[in-house]
Amino acid sequence: MYTYESRENRLLLAKKLAAEGIVLLKNKNSLLPLTPGAPIAVFGRAQLDTLIGGSGSGATSSDETTLITDELLKTGLLPDEKLETFYRNALNAERQAAPDPEEERAKFTELLNSGLIYEIFGKYKAPAAEFSVPDELITAIPSSHTAFFILGRGSGGEECDRRIKDDYYLTESEKELLHKIALHFNQVVVVLNTNGFVDLSLIQSYSSIHSILFLGTAGEQAAAALADMVIGKTTPSGKLSSTMAYSYEEYPSSDLFFTDKDRPETILTYEDFGLSSADNRSTGFAKSPVAFYKEGIYVGYRYFDTFNIPVMYPFGYGLSYANFRIEFTHALREGANFQLTVKVTNESRLYSGKEVTELYVSAPSLRLEKPYQELLTYSKTRELAPGETEELTLTFPLKELASYDEVSASYIIEEGSYYLRLGNSSRNTQIIGKIQIAETIVTDRLKNRLALSPANKGKLEFLSNKHSLSYFYPGEEAEKQKAPSLLTLLQKDFDTTNIPSTDTDTGMPSPSKERASVSDSMQPVTLKDVRDGLLTLEELVDRLTVKELAVLLNGYGPGLPFGGMEGKYPSTIQYEDGMDIGVSTHPTGFVGYISPAFTKYGIPSVFYKDGPAGVQMTAWPTGISMACTFNRELLKEFGIACATEAASLNVDSWLAPGINLQRNPIGGRNFEYYSEDPRHTGFLGLSIALGAEEAGITTCPKHFALNEQETYRRGSTKNSFDALDSIVEERAARELYLKPFEMVIRNSKVSTLMTSFNKINGIFAAGNRDLCEGILREEWNYKGIVVTDWGDMDIVVDGADAIAAGNDVIMPGGPPVIDQVLKGYEEGHVTLEDLKKSALRFLTFVMNSNSCRKYWEEH
């Protein structure tokens, strides 16, 4: 294992992540790998303008980004020089004609200071047009040369989803160039340097296109990793973390996902689904946008496999230069877990490589519908030489067989046979055995939370498979009959979980039995006194006035997005004598991303830093590329490395990972998220969190919850649009969209969590007590703090309501939101007890932070 203080080691890891995330989708006639010295023709603007990341909080940048054409040349391949010169000249001319960066910054600052940044932030930016390559330049290159088409896509992002036409589907300039390439050259490689999926049907229609590689947005080392793979220095081992359908229209959410901000008439509202805006607490707006999760539990491969819909490339799919054999050997129960052992053998004679083994379960559909199969777990081999075998262990908790029953508010394992399926994609598995459930088992008794609004019940129709249940494809019945029974389970094998009470266990420091007289209300006290046992944290919090509490529970800054950036507004409010209540004591943090310091109480500032692809040191691969590695150990290394960078910047909370789901292929932040599958997402999020912990940094998983659509997720002041309401069944919310957060919270020591802007069934996520207290703290026993997403709080949840619901810090906060909290206190929306409870949680986080430790050392 490396240490990651040196940039050299971090770049090695970044390249390894990029390499293992590349997915070989097609390799007709084994075109790849190529032999060094082979002449090639490289097309596409992205060959010299490699797309390495996304935008917004998940953005990444580097002055040392590797470029695809340059790296292919380094491997010994011979790109056509005239074609390369054409692209260099075209890109240089375009850059020279671009607007002056300083003028653009001035415009940005003006908008920022006006408070209207969110009206332009996230404005859709279409894919850049491909340059029209002269016919004579193409025909001058021998058709026997292997041609590369580097297809770039960087559209969408924070506050803005992608589009269908000329984005998911190829643009006209891309179609024109593709046609020219495919007709002239005998063998073509398409590289998808994209921040999400694109339609491949046109690409597949050309017989000359032999190979397709999904590179994704794989960071500053992406091009170097790709070049090594093209010549066989490394072998592809990436697997798709989401399903590639034959067309956009085949995704179950395709007709429910609006993205065009320039066409307000396309926005779906309550009335489009026979509902009432007023009944859903949305009044006084021109439009009330709705994201209807009609597909319920049938997302991604759960949908395509259950309804037996052909797909272009299934979940978990990816080719290799090597060939592998996967064999199940034996299984056993280990307490609350079930463990299977499998052998993987590299049967190739030429290539070393890695393989992923994936374990699924097909459950009986009785009272509760079930998808055809669900991923339970997976494991990836080490690099296996030709002929080499490795034994892998696949383990999963037996409770993962349970489904959520809304009627009884409990997780149950219905009686029947649960067939375990082993393979290397969702469409390439075989049944290896079954777990027999002799009686319906209750594994957890909970409370109904996040349920549909009573006003909407009975008015919505969710996707169902009740009338066409066929959980096994033709020919599988015999395989099912032959499946050996591996285990039988009864109710006595499980202890039903009771809901822990946060009233008796706050996770806060206990009072000291022996204390000095510092508890005298007139004597100055500090947070260090709490550390030294001279008073309790509760006693310190009791000293704070309501005004001080309101300042403490907000970020330090003017209260505009991105901390004001040269803004004209104050960063805090004052005492009656005119002195600032909060100040900044952080050496590297900046306004809008730090907490206010109270020097009179010895409370320092702490620093939150974006984001999922790093803290702007190394440009790491984005989530969509890292997820394709299917390598949890590698993601843990990323957590260690990136947290090491964060620690060098004195960061206290690293605002990552983004663990929402890729519900729809044109989601604007799919590059930042990991997968359509909740368990895969949870495994990777947990790996990153555990790695960061080893480096002494807490992650801040986000966006809690159901932030799968960016378009109008926080509404629009300019257009008088309410924030997006995610309408979802409780079962789907729990089993899919909350699952990754639950996996991270229950299995790590993460101490910060970020709520989302959107509503859930009519209630703001950040103002939803069932979500932030009931599920998060009572069910999952979370002890850390909850911070809001970074917004100016005009349409999104009121600051006082957020604290009352269980948020502890309002970001970026500042005077406008401090005033909201004080007004809410006067009006009874938030109580003194609410403020103190959040202050206790927040100051516990501060006391355990690196910033606090350093502050105390210096003071």
H or E element, residue 227: helix 222-230
- The answer, yes or no, to whether residue 792 has pLDDT greater than 80, is no
The pLDDT score that the predictor gives to residue 512 is 37
How far the first Cα of the chain sits from its last, in Å, is 37
Q: List where CATH 3.40.50.1700 sits in the chain.
A: 7-243
Indicate the pLDDT class of residue 794, thresholds 50, 70 and 90.
Answer: confident
The pLDDT score that the predictor gives to residue 510 is 40
- The answer, yes or no, to whether residue 117 has pLDDT greater than 80, is no
H or E element, residue 732: helix 730-732
Nearest to 678 by CA among 463, 414, 397, 374: 374
Contact 603, 586 (CB under 8 A): no
| Of the listed ranges 105-114, 245-254, 728-737, 786-795, the one predicted with least confidence | 105-114
The pLDDT score that the predictor gives to residue 559 is 81
Rounded Cα–Cα distance for residues 216 and 625 (Å): 5
Residue 3, number of CB atoms within 10 A of its CB? 10
- The answer, yes or no, to whether residue 564 has pLDDT greater than 60, is no
Rounded Cα–Cα distance for residues 839 and 544 (Å): 9
- The predicted-structure confidence for 380-397, as pLDDT tens digits, reads as follows 999 999 999 999 999 999
Rounded Cα–Cα distance for residues 315 and 244 (Å): 8
Residue 223, number of CB atoms within 10 A of its CB? 30
Q: Is the dihedral of CA 810, 816, 821, 827 positive or negative?
A: negative
Q: Which pTM value belongs to this model?
A: 0.96
Indicate the pLDDT class of residue 484, thresholds 50, 70 and 90.
Answer: very high
Contact 740, 733 (CB under 8 A): no
The pLDDT score that the predictor gives to residue 568 is 59
CA dihedral 585, 589, 590, 596 (to 10 degrees): -40
The pLDDT score that the predictor gives to residue 25 is 98
Indicate the pLDDT class of residue 481, thresholds 50, 70 and 90.
Answer: confident
- The predicted-structure confidence for 302-343, as pLDDT tens digits, reads as follows 999 999 999 999 999 999 999 999 999 999 999 999 999 999
- The answer, yes or no, to whether residue 523 has pLDDT greater than 70, is no
Rounded Cα–Cα distance for residues 756 and 708 (Å): 10
- The answer, yes or no, to whether residue 583 has pLDDT greater than 60, is yes
Q: How many CA atoms lie within 13 A of 460 on its CB side?
A: 25
- The predicted-structure confidence for 54-75, as pLDDT tens digits, reads as follows 888 888 888 899 999 999 999 9
The pLDDT score that the predictor gives to residue 517 is 44
The pLDDT score that the predictor gives to residue 518 is 47
Cis peptide before 611 (omega within 30 of 0): yes
- The answer, yes or no, to whether residue 654 has pLDDT greater than 50, is yes
Mean per-residue pLDDT, 481-507: 72
Indicate the pLDDT class of residue 501, thresholds 50, 70 and 90.
Answer: very low
Computed over its alpha carbons, how large is the radius of gyration of the chain? Answer: 27
H or E element, residue 841: helix 832-847
The pLDDT score that the predictor gives to residue 769 is 98
Mean per-residue pLDDT, 195-204: 97
User: Helix, strand, or coil here: 213?
Assistant: strand
- The answer, yes or no, to whether residue 495 has pLDDT greater than 90, is no
Mean per-residue pLDDT, 728-735: 98
Indicate the pLDDT class of residue 498, thresholds 50, 70 and 90.
Answer: low
- The answer, yes or no, to whether residue 77 has pLDDT greater than 90, is yes
Fold classification of 7-243 is Rossmann fold (3.40.50)
Mean per-residue pLDDT, 659-664: 98
User: What are the counts of helices (DSSP H) followed by strands (DSSP E) for the chain?
Assistant: 24, 26
CA distances in angstroms from 405 to 111, 259, 412, 729, 746, listed in the order given: 48, 33, 7, 11, 21
The pLDDT score that the predictor gives to residue 170 is 98
Rounded Cα–Cα distance for residues 490 and 157 (Å): 48
Q: Which residues pair with 23 in a beta bridge?
A: 214
Helices 632-648 and 678-694: angle between axes, nearest 10 degrees: 40
The pLDDT score that the predictor gives to residue 504 is 37
Residues 6+ apart with CB under 8 A from 332: 338, 339
For the chain, percent of residues with pLDDT exceeding 90 = 85
Q: List where CATH 2.60.40.10 sits in the chain.
A: 264-499+700-780
Q: Which 8-state DSSP code applies to residue 349?
A: S
Mean per-residue pLDDT, 209-237: 98
Rounded Cα–Cα distance for residues 486 and 396 (Å): 14
Nearest to 18 by CA among 216, 240, 315: 216
The pLDDT score that the predictor gives to residue 516 is 42
Indicate the pLDDT class of residue 472, thresholds 50, 70 and 90.
Answer: low
Average pLDDT, the chain: 92
The pLDDT score that the predictor gives to residue 359 is 98
The pLDDT score that the predictor gives to residue 262 is 87
Cis peptide before 705 (omega within 30 of 0): yes
- The predicted-structure confidence for 130-153, as pLDDT tens digits, reads as follows 999 999 999 999 999 999 999 999
The domain defined by 264-499+700-780 carries CATH number 2.60.40.10: yes
